[in-house]
Amino acid sequence: MAQPDLNATALPAQAELQSFARAAAHLLAERQVRAPGMRVVKRKAGVGIQHLDHRDYRPGDEVRHIDWRQTARRRRPIVRQFESESVSDWVVMLDLSSSMAVHGAAKWQAAARGAAAMCYALLELGHRVGLLAFGRGVRAECPRGRGRAHYAGIIRLLGSLRPSPTGEPSDLGACAPRLRGDASVIVFSDFLADDEMRRDLAALLERCTSLHALQVGQASETSLGVAGEADLVDVETGERLAARLDANAVAVAAAERAAMTRRLRGFCERSGIAFTAWDVQRPWQQMLIEHLARARSAC
């Protein structure tokens, strides 16, 4: 199987990111988006006002916030941005297992776009954001940080990541020890495992302030497009299974896939995890906004 071509062009353009950040701002600002039953951790404000970043001057900005040195250097009015006392920490987790690479890696591309967009929107609001990529274990990590320079680092890391074509299972639980301090966590994965990673989600839940699970999938992944006797191979474990493929077999596979999603959804609802099943044919902007709106309305 050829390695999917997953370069940085798969990530959202700047205009798309800005549009999404504006739409998501009211869902991410002031209070954390969380599901019912999640514990709330009040963050202590630091002494004074912490400088965060710079941006262009906008009508209505206070003159005292103008950075005159940056204004002279850039030859246009520049103001300082300050950290809000209501900001929080977020960790975005991304699945690099082999099941994310099948069918042209459409699931991986959707997950990478969603992760990039969430990081951008959260950083624009002053939140501290980190990124963890996992497969058999933690494959890559970008520690939590703030500002546009930090987003550039996240994008460089995302651009270097690829799901393994074969032989890479999902071990989301390996990410749990990396959660130090209070943070909200959002996981992009297809959750294709024996127990839909419910045990791993439970391990994360014990270490975070709130937990979001976005299950990326595609309707075509249970349709092989062939008929007759076939030797099926699990891309993650390498296990082989002789099978006869016909319309009934495809229907059984689709029913089992739907049952896995129902089990995962039910577990998330019982555990207080915000859950969304995302068919990658639907635009990432729409899915993320719908997910955040549902999670916030449940607060």
Q: Which of 99, 91, 118, 275 is nearest to 175 (CA)?
A: 91
Q: pTM for this one?
A: 0.75
Q: What is the per-residue pLDDT for 55?
A: 83
Q: In degrees rounded to 5, what are phi and psi of residue 126?
A: 90, 0
pLDDT in tens, 222-274: 555 555 454 444 445 445 554 555 556 556 667 888 899 999 999 999 999 99
Same domain, 73 and 212: no
Q: In degrees rounded to 5, what are phi and psi of residue 118?
A: -65, -40
pLDDT(145) > 90: yes
Would 113 be classed as within a structural domain? yes
Would 2 be classed as within a structural domain? no
Note the Cα 261 to chain centre separation in Å.
18
pLDDT(184) > 60: yes
Q: What is the per-residue pLDDT for 61?
A: 76
Range of the domain at 63: 51-82
Q: Which of 3, 4, 9 is nearest to 155 (CA)?
A: 9
The Cβ of residue 208 has, within 10 Å, a number of other Cβ atoms equal to 23
Q: What is the per-residue pLDDT for 82?
A: 60
Q: How far apart are CA 278 and CA 280, in angstroms?
A: 6
Number of domains forming the structure of the chain? 2
pLDDT in tens, 1-32: 344 444 444 799 999 999 999 999 989 875 44
Strands 210-217 and 184-189: parallel
pLDDT(49) > 60: no
Average pLDDT over every residue of 129-155: 96
Q: Which residues sit opposite 217 in a β-bridge?
A: 279
pLDDT in tens, 68-99: 999 999 999 998 876 544 568 999 999 999 99
| CB 204 within 8 Å of CB 230 | no
| CB 92 within 8 Å of CB 119 | yes
pLDDT in tens, 191-207: 988 788 999 999 999 99
Would 59 be classed as within a structural domain? yes
Rounded to the nearest integer, the mean pLDDT of the chain is: 81
Same domain, 76 and 140: no
Same domain, 160 and 57: no
| CB 55 within 8 Å of CB 82 | no
Would 183 be classed as within a structural domain? yes
Q: What is the per-residue pLDDT for 233?
A: 41
Q: What is the per-residue pLDDT for 224?
A: 57
pLDDT in tens, 100-125: 988 888 999 999 999 999 999 999 99
Would 109 be classed as within a structural domain? yes
